[in-house]
Amino acid sequence: MQQTAKIIDGKLLAQNLRAEIASGVAALKASKGVVPGLAVILVGDDPASVSYVTAKEKACAEAGIASREIRLPATARESEILSAIDALNCDRTIHGILVQLPLPCSVSAKAVIDAIAPEKDVDGFTPVNAGKMLIGDDCFLPCTPHGIIKLIEFSGMDLRGKHAVVIGRSNIVGKPLAVLLSRKEVNATVTLCHTGTPDMSLFTRQADVVIVAAGRPGTLSGSMIKPGAVVIDVGVNRLPDPSRPKGFRLVGDADFESCAAVAGAITPVPGGVGPLTITMLLWNTLEAAKRHA
């Protein structure tokens, strides 16, 4: 199959936005003497989570944002995590707090997220920020959905009046993305498909843009999309591959080869959505620091 789709370079867009953020960080430091601070709480040692947290900390350092890692064992009690969050909520040098998900099953992710002060919730996951986003109030937008909107605009597509199909209804990506796409300033028509949708291809074949965030490789294939459609692949799945130094390779939720032969543009995995998620986290952390400077 021949790849005809344009590759949407998430790394390039992230690089451009991160240069802007680094300037904003330097300006805040020069004018108010404030260095934005991000605390990252990591519970346990899930390899994918460790790798995300490392990437977030590296990006902070490059932008001039101070990051502090709080590492707790997988056996940590919920009360220990809540105490760590309480301390960070009161710490004036910390403007953003991020708890890397997923958390161990023994801990209530809801209770932990609820404990983060909404003004430091740079992931946009607390009920206060999720509610504000829903009604269009000023708030921290969740990083992956916000980054996806930026990526689609960067691909050259004007979303106004277009049909966007979102696959997956997670609180982190699918649900908030459907809300953002349907906002008046974006103005797309949105269909949200999920595991209860009997035949997704009925919807995806009509879509101008398909965003797949299902957490399962092969969820979207070329036969399911309209020629020229834009495909945004949010999936990051590790497939065993002994020929690779790390013993695995990363694939998205879309079958890249078949989709790239039909789509007009497509994001790669890695190098598509991932760099934007981290970039929007830096953006929110700078915003949080500005508001409290």
Q: Which residues bind ligand GUN (CB under 6 A)?
A: 98-101, 123, 143-144, 172, 277
Closest CA to 99 of 280, 82, 37, 288: 82
Listed in sequence order, the residues at least 6 apart from 270 whose beta carbon sits closer than 8 Å to its beta carbon are 236, 250
32 is catalytic: no
Q: Which is nearer to ligand GUN, 52 or 203 (CB)?
A: 52
Q: Which is nearer to ligand GUN, 157 or 177 (CB)?
A: 177
123 is catalytic: yes
Choosing from 15, 45, 46, 56, the catalytic residue is 56
100 is catalytic: yes
Q: Rounded to whole angstroms, what are the CA distances from 134 to 112, 148, 182, 277?
A: 21, 17, 10, 20
State the nearest-atom distance from the C-beta of 259 to ligand GUN, in Å. 22
Choosing from 100, 150, 162, 175, the catalytic residue is 100
State the nearest-atom distance from the C-beta of 207 to ligand GUN, in Å. 24
Q: Which is nearer to ligand GUN, 264 or 272 (CB)?
A: 272
State the nearest-atom distance from the C-beta of 19 to ligand GUN, in Å. 22
Q: Are 232 and 220 in contact (CB under 8 A)?
A: no
Alpha-carbon distance 240 to 218, whole Å?
Answer: 15
- Nearest-CB residue to ligand GUN? 101
With b for 16 or more beta-carbon neighbours within 10 A and e for fewer, the 105-120 pattern comes to: eebebeebbebbebbb
State the nearest-atom distance from the C-beta of 76 to ligand GUN, in Å. 16
Tokens, residue 238: 């590790």
Q: Which is nearer to ligand GUN, 265 or 269 (CB)?
A: 269
Which uninterrupted H or E stretch holds 225?
none
Give the Cβ contact number of residue 15 at 10 Å.
Answer: 12
* Residues annotated catalytic, as ranges: 56, 100, 123
